[in-house]
Chains A and B, each alone.
Chain A
Amino acid sequence: MDTTLVMIVAGGLVGVGLLVLIITLVSHRKHKKPAKKAGAEAGKDTKKLEEAYDAATQNDPYHIFGKEFQEELRNKARLDFQRVINENAMFLQQDLRMTTAEINEYLKKNMVQKLEEEFMEYEKSIRDVQEAAVQSLNNTVAAAEQQQQALNGRIEQELQARKVQLLAAFEQNMADVVSSYVVKAVGEQLDLREQLPMILREMESRQEDMRKDLWL
């Protein structure tokens, strides 16, 4: 953008220089026409005058005009130059305004577009981040649920194993438990006299085995 502005300003300055050069050449031609006419009317003295003129101009380019006329030409040139400068400055100002307006328009358009693109990118990034966060949360929740299920399963298994162990221990010690209970419940009430028939029946059932043991 800065490069464009510099080129426009440089083009304006070059145009102004060309205008000044053209004006200077035109003004020289207007002053030369009366000299040629005078030379033609003079006839023979033309060559002499030209030589004198060349000699005089060789030493002093402005000696052919009077000081008032030179001053007038100088003023006129100054005024013309001032006018050209003003016109070019006006043109330049208009160009600058137009360029500035175009630049503003361009900048506005580009900036708005750029901002819209940036906002879109920003929104897209926000959406991506949100989706990533939601995905991460979902993954975390799924992992937590999975761990919870695994933990529940393991606790359940350990509970069942413990229960099986307790049942096995209970069954293993069933006789002791029942014996202890019976001893506490009936205690001395278990009379050996009443048990004697049962004991004798039991011993009779193994009588032969015991007899063999004793007769060995």
Chain B
Amino acid sequence: MSHAVKLENEHGISLPPSLISNTDVGRLIRELEAVDNEFEQQLVRTPDQPPVVPSLSRSLAALCQQNNLQLADAPTRTELRTKLVSIKDTAPVVHITFATEVEPEILGQLVSWVRERLHPLALITTGLQPAIVGGCIVRTPDHIYDFSLRERFNATKTSFVAAVRGALAKTPYIQASTQQPEATDGN
């Protein structure tokens, strides 16, 4: 179950699970600029009426709700925009590769886990590589962590080969042919 990250960070903001990648942050920045423009237009068109918050995207709404932000306040919008730009430029990016297309719900859980355990402002990008069969490959700025089934096969290759050899050795023809090179090496 996804939940917001409440860790403290230098930006004083927590990212909702729906805000995943750099692209999402960029889209959020553009949307925030559009909202800012909308408020300015309302202020020009109807200066005597209180500003009406336009309809927001789910990500922006979640972000505002999670951080108790009032977008009707101009300094708040400006500060939020500055923080989002800073996050877009400086937040660590974790790239996760899956064997199949990942569902948003599962991706949300992974994002929550990353931001809770690793870094509260971490951004996630995803990739697709069917050859890894299952699991995932996590690439941080400095390392690659292979949690795929292919890596598991590689790790257990020795025992698997030993098992295959043991099975083959029970076959008479294979047994004779596999014993011969040892005798040749002995000579």
Contact = CB atoms under 8 A, between A and B. Distances in A.
Interface in A174-197: 174-176, 178-179, 182-183, 188, 190, 192-193, 195-196
Contacts of A210: 94, 118, 138, 140, 143, 145
Interface of A: 156-157, 160, 163-164, 171, 174-176, 178-179, 182-183, 188, 190, 192-193, 195-196, 198-200, 202-204, 206-207, 209-211, 213-216
* 6 shortest interchain CB distances as A-B pairs: A213-B140, A202-B147, A175-B153, A214-B119, A214-B92, A175-B154
Interface size of B as a range: 35 or more
B154 to A, nearest CB: 4
Contacts of B143: 209-210, 213
B130 interface: yes
Nearest to B146: A202
Given A171-B161, A209-B143, 8 more contacts: A176-B150, A179-B149, A179-B153, A196-B110, A210-B140, A214-B119, A215-B119, A216-B141
A163 B106 contact: no
Contacts of B122: 214
B7 to A, nearest CB: 12
B8 to A, nearest CB: 13
A195 B150 contact: no
A141 to B, nearest CB: 25
